[in-house]
Structure 1
Amino acid sequence: MQDDPSLPLADCGKATPKHPTASRSRPTDLYHRLKLWRVPLLMVFLFTGAVVGMYFQPPLLRTFFGMTGLEPGAGTGKPIAVPPLPPDAAPAPPPPSVTALGRLIPEGDVVRLAAPYGAGDARISRLLVRVGDKILEGQPIAELDSLQHYRTAVAAATANVAAKEAALDQARSAVSAALAEAKADRDRAASAANLARNEANRIGDLFSRGVATQATLDRAEAAAVQAARELDRAEAHLARQEGGESQPDVALAARQLDVARAELASAEGDLSRGQVFAPQAGRILALHVGVGERPGTDGIASLGTTERMEAELEVYQTDIERVAPEQDVTLSSAALAEPLTGKVTKIGLEVERQSILSANPAANTDARIIRVTVALDPDSSARASGLTGLEVTGRIETGRSQ
């Protein structure tokens, strides 16, 4: 067979044996046996590298963990080769003071005087005080334009009472006169009855002696009986007139007087609807309306006891457990030349939303607070008497209390 020039090998015409000869397979098996010893060596090398990496944690390994977000020992509940966490440090002691925002107020807070009950559409006709005036309890503050109407009603009720009193006096006089007249009628009837009875007895004596006739005796007896009946009628009429205050005319006049007096009391009560009075002593802090204006929701005036000033602080609910009565408080503000001092007197019982906000734009505007009242000492109260409503920063010394 000729060689095919297109084939890569020469074709000798003999088939190639499937299995290599013994001389060739023997070096190949030896080569594979010598190569197997690398496997355990590789395992020992990998194990040694893992141990070294977990123990020393070189920078390259840390960089790898940082890039992948993995953590050493995160895949098991009991990691090894991880440094133990340091023991929990003791909690830091709380600061010796609590800071809170607040405002200055008179003792008992500011009182807003509203229009009296039933004032309706009444308007201010006269203001009797000015801002800064010191007033007494019950002192009139303002008059409404409805006051004249109520005064007229009082005058009418007073006149009605006087008329009813006169009617009662008239009724009593009439009863007294009727009583005197009834007594006179009774006395006259008694005299007539006695005279008629004596005349009948005299005629009877004459009849027994035959001097008087039967007809004369009968007329005398009839006259005596008639006189006795008149006496009974007069005594009954006198008994009716002796009732005094229980006489119908007097009782009716007395009840009418009671009604008139009740109407007068009602009119005098309505008179207070035309005026505004101070419920307590203090100082006028502001006037919210003028003459001719109708009082609105702000009321007519604001007053307070500025002789004794207080501060109302809004303490965070997380700090309130450290606040106690009689703790010292220092109040500061840009408007004060020197800080004010005082003591905690009252701690509120209700958690509220914060109403006084800090100028810091990052401050919490939805905090929950408890109101704490601070009574200022006399010197601080005198300096703060003209600063009602001033926002202050209070520092409550929680480290000590007296």
Structure 2
Amino acid sequence: MVHKEKHSFTKPMSLWPIMLGSAGVIATSIISIYSLSYFQKTSKSSPTISSISPISAPTITAVAALGRLEPQGEVIRLSAPNSQTGIRVNQLLVKKGDKIRQGQLVAILDNYIPNLAALEKANRQVEVSRANLQQVEAGAKGGDISAQKATISRLEADLRGSVSTQKATISRLEAELKNSETENQRYQKLYQDGAISASDADTKRLRRDTVQEQLNEANASLKRTIETLQKQLTESQARLNSIAEIRPTDVQLAQANVKSAIASVQQAQAELNLSSIRSPIDAQVLKINTWPGEIIGNKGIVELGQTQQMYVVAEV
């Protein structure tokens, strides 16, 4: 009995591994069928699968989809100012893929050279205006004052000389007129007495009239000379006073000219700044839309992006 029992117990033990192996194969098949039906999204599940509660649904670890990489923030398009239409790119100082810093020069427009010349001209005008202001504030040069005083002295001498000469002429004519008048009276009496002819009397009267006219002209000439030279003296004296005086209005005018010249420099500098395109941020050149010699269009010159951190945009 003991042997049989022993024999009968040993036989089932030899079938146990086979049974376990069969159960494992069945379980694996059931899991595969469940996974396949899950991904195919069938509307009905197998009765065999639903009866096995210990088996959990598999976890999805990856999904395949279309997508793209975008840089952090928005893509920036660098272009010319709106006020500058029809402007061409003269020089392009970057290429696609370059990493650039904030404020770095990216492109130079074709109006850069004219604007640079305008700035230099404005700077020269500032120098001229400042020099003129310094001259006004310092007053006239000593040489200018001396020259003007010499002019006044010359005019005074001319006035004295001319008056003296013409007065001498007048005195001579007055004496001659007196003699002519005496002669005329004597000849007129002789004519009335019948001692001389009428022509002789007329000659003396004509001589008197001629001298009288010369005297009148000499007096008029003296008056004109005095008026002319006196006017020149007055103008020269006023000029001397103007040279020697530093008038506040002259200083204010010179200062206003300096301010106007500085404003012109600032405007020219602003125009020059608009002729060069710089990067507003640290970024990378993603695309070039305008090459040297081309007119800047709606797409701008270059496209920039911050590629230090990229984002994935997936179309699921």
| Structure number with higher relative contact order (C-alpha < 8 Å, ≥ 6 residues apart) | 2
TM range (shorter): 0.3 to 0.5
